[in-house]
Structure 1
Amino acid sequence: MNNKLDPGQLKEGEDYYFTPEGYKCFTAQYHLKRGYCCKSGCRHCPYGFDKKTGTNKKQDK
């Protein structure tokens, strides 16, 4: 877990954006800064997690 990310320091448009429904959606850049996959099936998961299968589509390098 990366404790260096301060929620008050997140930048809109870089770390997240708001969906048309008003939800905050984290970007792939944010997920990479965080440093791990939360396995929640995030829209922009750079780790390739597939919530339906419970597996990663991308292989760790």
Structure 2
Amino acid sequence: MLQEGVDFYFNEQGLMVLTAAYHLKRGKCCGNGCLHCPYDYERVQEPRRTELLQLRAQKKS
């Protein structure tokens, strides 16, 4: 069972966003390009994977 605030939260648009904690429990990248993917989008197809990694790097800067 998912726990709000731990496994997910709702963004400003009311959409459910899965957390990194949820993904770590899941054990692998699902390939959907999730915002908090702790697996560096390893199953996301190119060129989308590269785009997501670049966006993540820009946000950290």
Alignment TM-score, normalising by the size of structure 1: 0.68
CA contact (8 A) 2:33 2:49 kept: no
Q: 4+ residue runs of structure 1 moved beyond 2 angstroms? A: none
RMSD: 1.9
Ranges in structure 2 where 5+ consecutive residues have no aligned partner: 54-61
Higher strand proportion:
1
Q: Secondary structure at the match of 2:49?
A: coil
Cα distance, 1:36 vs structure 2: 1.1
In structure 1, list runs of 5 or more residues that go unmatched: 1-8
Match in the other structure for 1:19: 11
Give the TM-score of the pair, scaled to structure 2: 0.68
Match of 1:41 among 33, 49, 56: 33
Higher helix content, 1 or 2: 2
Give the share of equivalent positions with the same residue, in percent. Answer: 49
Total equivalences in the alignment: 47
